[in-house]
C-alpha cells in the first residue's frame, strides 16, 4: 500500500483507505482531497494496477484496500 501511495503522487493514507471502485475508471484514479478541495485525476501506471489486482482479491467490499471492513462507517470512525 505504501508503494501504491508513492506511485499515486504521495497520496495520504486516509484517502487510500477511502478509495473505492467508484474512484476507478479506464485505468485512471479520481478522488477529491477533503482538506484542500482539490480534485485529482490521473492515469495509473502498470505498477499501481498490479498492486490493485493483488488487494482487490482480498477486499470483501467496495473499498479497494481491505482495511475498512464496514462500508457504512462515518468519517469520524474512519479517522479513529
Please list the rounded mean pLDDT of every run of 10 residues in the chain (80 residues): 90 87 92 89 93 78 73 67
Q: Tell me how far apart the alpha carbons of residues 79 and 60 are, in angstroms, rounded to a whole number.
A: 20
Cα torsion angle, 15, 21, 22, 24, sign:
positive
pTM equals 0.77
Query: For the chain, where are the alpha helices, taking DSSP H only?
Result: 2-7, 13-18, 46-58, 75-79
Task: State the cell numbers at 14.
Answer: 486516509
Amino acid at each position: 500500500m505504501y508503494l501504491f501511495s508513492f506511485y499515486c503522487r504521495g497520496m495520504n493514507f486516509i484517502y487510500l483507505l477511502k478509495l473505492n471502485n467508484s474512484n476507478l475508471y479506464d485505468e485512471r484514479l479520481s478522488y477529491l482531497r477533503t482538506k484542500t478541495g482539490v480534485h485529482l485525476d490521473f492515469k495509473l501506471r502498470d505498477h499501481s494496477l498490479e498492486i490493485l489486482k493483488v488487494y482487490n482479491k482480498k477486499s470483501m467490499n467496495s473499498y479497494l484496500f481491505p482495511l475498512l471492513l464496514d462500508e457504512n462507517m462515518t468519517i469520524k470512525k474512519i479517522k479513529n
